[in-house]
Structure 1
């Protein structure tokens, strides 16, 4: 019951849809590309690419439970964009996916830069004990006719 209540309190995060999987070596390691539509803004789709280790690589490296934090992101306008409900300058979660058995995830955050009329999307790893400097960023400029939230005082 507590888990259901907790799930209702958490913000709705986007679901990823796999677009492609590209083999990169003979051990079976892949680069996975996923499409992630922004569930709040609408009209923006991000493509996230990340490395996925094979079972053979996990066994040979001795690190069974963890994938690397490397990722790349590119976001594009795919329809009308509405930023009327966003809080300028406040990072908001768009997507999160586990990258190890415990405590490590790959995340996408959105930041609304109202002054420059841009949505900024940041892909980064999040770890409980140790942060990672590995990140990737993409921006989506807002058009003149789109709803613009008022900057916070």
Structure 2
């Protein structure tokens, strides 16, 4: 009788995520290059681990996992823009989601950090990083929602009238 090996299937990604724009007081933006797609530059992104995971927790977790930056709520504070983008998931990545899922809801956050903060990339996710002036960073992003968030950075930081 043949032996059967059953592999535990990976759970599907939840089509709800965070985008964290990391910037300095001089409006330099940190971009990271995807390990699975050279020349695909982006900010920190990541899906919820569970449907009830708080968005701030997801943003804090992803920020640390992808860059080694620890948002402590005092010196390094995430700002929730209270903004969400709904976009079509690139076909190359749809296999990660349940069958029939074609769109993702992305919640935008930002965090201001000192320019000399140590960056520790997750090598399975990203290969290198670059600090760029915000306009140049927006031009380099492969994701239009990521680029738009970077372009909105000065407006998000301006004091409301």
TM over 0.5: no
Instruction: Tell me: higher relative CO, structure 1 or 2? Use CA pairs within 8 A at least 6 residues apart.
Output: 2
TM-score, normalization by structure 1:
0.28
Structure with bigger strand share is 1
Structure with bigger helix share is 2
